[in-house]
Each structure stands twice: as C-alpha cells, then as structure tokens.
Amino acid sequence: MSKDGKSRRKGPSLSARVDRERPIGSFASLKVELSVLIIISTAIAFVMAWFLLKMGWSGWIAMPLTLVVALGITYFFSRGLTAPLRQMRDAAEAMADGDYTVRVHATTTSHDEVGLLAQSFNEMAEELQHADQMRRDMVANVSHELRTPVSALQAMVENMADGVTEPTPANLEGILEQTHRLSDLIAFLLDLSRMEAGAASLQIEDFDFGDFIDETLQPLAIADAGHAHDIQVDLEKGLRMEGDQDRLRQLFTNVISNALKHSADGTTVLIQAHEDRQQETIVTNVVNFGSQIPPEARTDIFRRFVKGKAGPGTESGGTGLGLSIARWAAQLHGGQVQVVDDPRGADFEITLPRYHRDPDEDEGDGDGSGGPDAPH
C-alpha cells in the first residue's frame, strides 16, 4: 500500500473518531453546546440522586456517587468538544518542527467556533505548505538558472584564455548573451524581493500608449529575430494613459515575451488595444495563435516559480517569475492581467485604468469621481 493510500484511509477514520468523540458538537455555537452539556449532566445527576434515595440509599452515599457520575459525564462530553483543540496543539508542534503536511481531522458535522477554527487552521497549514514548497522550488530553480549561464561563460572564457577559440565577434556575442541572461535573472530576483517587501513606489506620468508599445517591442523583436515570429500590432489611435512606464514595461515585456516563447517559429503574435470608455480603462490583448491554456491552469501560471510546459515555442519554461511580476505590476496600477477564452489561441488580457488614482485619494473621495483632471 502506498503512502498516499494510507493517508487516504487514515483521514476518514480519524474524522469518524472525532465525530464519535463529539456527540453534541453539531450545534452552531460552543455556548449552546456547553449549555446542553450542563443540562444533560444536571438532569442525569438529578434523576440518579432521586432514584438512589427512593431505593433507600443513604444521602451520604447517593450524593457523592451522583457527583462522581455527573463529573464523569461532563468530562466525557467536554473532552469530545476540545478534541480538535488537542489536534491543533499536536499539529502546531509538528509544524514548528518543519512538517507542514499535518492537518486537523475535525468533525464533518461541527459548525461551532472550534470546528470553524479547525477549518481555518487547515487552510493556514495548506498555505504554509505551499509557501514552503515554493521556497524549496525557488532554491532549485535559481540554482539551475544560475548554473547554466555561469557554466557557459566559464567554458567560453577558459577556451579563449587557453587559445582554443579566438575572441571573434560571434564568440563575444555568445558571452554577451549569457551575461544578459544573468542580468535578467538578477532583475527578476530583485523584483521578487520588491514584491515580498510590498514596494509600490510609482513614477506617474502621462504618455502615448502607442509609442510606449513600439518602444517595448523593439528589443523583443530584435531578440526574436531568429524565430521569424510575425508580431502584429492593432491599437486604437490616440490612446493615452497615466502610469509608471518602467513598471508597465515590465508588465508588457513579460507577457509578450511569454507569448513569443510559447509560439512555434513562424507563427503570429497579435497585440490589440482599445479604450473601454465606460470603465475608463485600456484593455490590451496579447494573443499567440494555435496554443491554448486549460481553464484549470490559468490561475496557477501567475504563481511564482510556476513554469510553462515544454512546447514548440522558442523556449520552454524560464525562471517562472515573469507572469507573477507582470500581475504584480498590473495590480500596482489598479489593473489586472488574466487569461480569457479566445478561439484564436492563448489570450492574455491586460486591463489598466487610463487615469491613475492613489488608493488613499479613492478612500477619501466620497463621490468617487475621477477622470483626466484627477490629482495624481
């Protein structure tokens, strides 16, 4: 029997045991359950005392015996009520030792404060386990991403130093390419540290959105020259917006480069943008034709260190940080980036407010008015 199979059988048995231990744990409030416990204990004690006295027992014997029975009943039921608390204590101790797989097998019928606390505890344990796994993946991913360009640089430089290869423009171009790869990885890690620290400083300015897209595409088109992608741009004329161009360039560079990486050579990548005047937003769609992203994976791809599957595109995977940083940059501007249904292919839709407004100003502005004259 596999370990997973054992855990699957163990879980239901523990839950069933907790159900048996908490016979009055199905009420919606712990106070109600304690009240019921007191009523049951008092009623049993009263009936038992009355019966023993009627049978002719001495009060000096009947009353202590009744008290012992009442205390035993109270202990039995109260132990069941606090069973999830004991499990949480043991689980917390295990988590303190680094085991984030433990869970509280709370009763399936418990809706009181203790049951809800057990459910919240399990949700917290899930998040901690995920964070711990992401930390482990980060070490492995960063080590792998650093090792490849460093090893290539070391080999190239050693060959030149030993006279095996000449410092030709082509060889120097290879060294420069690996240096750029290292620089990109370091930039990704710095952005990740800003995300963790909650850094959100923005340099807001008004700019022409068409010019911004053209400037963003220039280095991407040069880097993609060997893969013959047809990058088509279809923008509504006269689009302008307010935002931090550096942060927004991170957003669009990561999304567009992701589309290029996962598109087969010679295929088309389409960039469309228009203004939603009702919502005062600019909506941009980046579509790479032919490929699709399953609906169940559309949220996970924006998580840190989640890499795309290998495919026919120019590259597979990467650092696993690009789309996470893109989402962060969009959220800094009060926007969002998501994958939407599109029969043409994988469609990343970026929605950004046309006019920047600070969150503090939005909270203090009772009428919620905005527009081009709003302070920023």
Six token digits for residue 355: 């006019």
Dihedral pair phi/psi, residue 225, rounded to 5°? -55, -35
DSSP element (H, E) containing 180 = helix 169-197
DSSP element (H, E) containing 251 = helix 245-261
* R_g of the chain computed on alpha carbons: 32
Can you give the pTM of this predicted structure?
A: 0.53
- CA 371 to chain CA centroid, nearest Å: 32
Which of 71, 88, 86 has its CA nearest to residue 37?
Answer: 71
Residues in CB range of 216: below 8 A, 6 or more apart: 249, 252, 253, 256
Amino acid at the residue 59: G
Six token digits for residue 140: 């492995």
Task: Return the SS3 of 339.
Answer: strand
pLDDT score recorded for residue 42:
82
pLDDT score recorded for residue 23:
54
User: Hey, how many other C-beta atoms are within 10 angstroms of the C-beta on 78?
Assistant: 15
Amino acid at the residue 114: V
DSSP element (H, E) containing 84 = helix 83-96
Residues 286, 256 contacting (CB under 8 angstroms): yes
Six token digits for residue 111: 């809706």
Q: What are the angstrom distances between the C-alpha of 300 and each of 259, 304, 321, 328, 349?
A: 16, 9, 12, 14, 16
Residues 102, 126 contacting (CB under 8 angstroms): no
Domains and CATH numbers, the chain: 30-129 (no CATH), 135-197 (1.10.287.130), 205-308+318-353 (3.30.565.10)
Residue with tokens 């009353």: 63
Rounded CA gap, 369 and 90, in Å? 53
Tens of pLDDT, residue by residue, the chain (376 residues): 334 443 333 444 444 444 445 555 566 676 777 777 788 788 888 888 888 888 878 878 888 888 888 888 777 777 777 777 888 888 888 888 888 888 887 655 566 777 778 888 888 888 888 778 777 766 776 676 677 678 878 888 888 888 888 888 888 888 887 787 788 777 767 766 666 665 556 789 999 999 999 999 988 888 887 788 899 999 999 999 999 998 899 899 989 988 888 888 888 999 999 999 999 999 999 998 867 888 877 777 776 555 555 444 334 345 566 788 888 889 889 999 999 998 888 899 999 999 987 655 544 444 444 444 443 3
Six token digits for residue 31: 């106070």
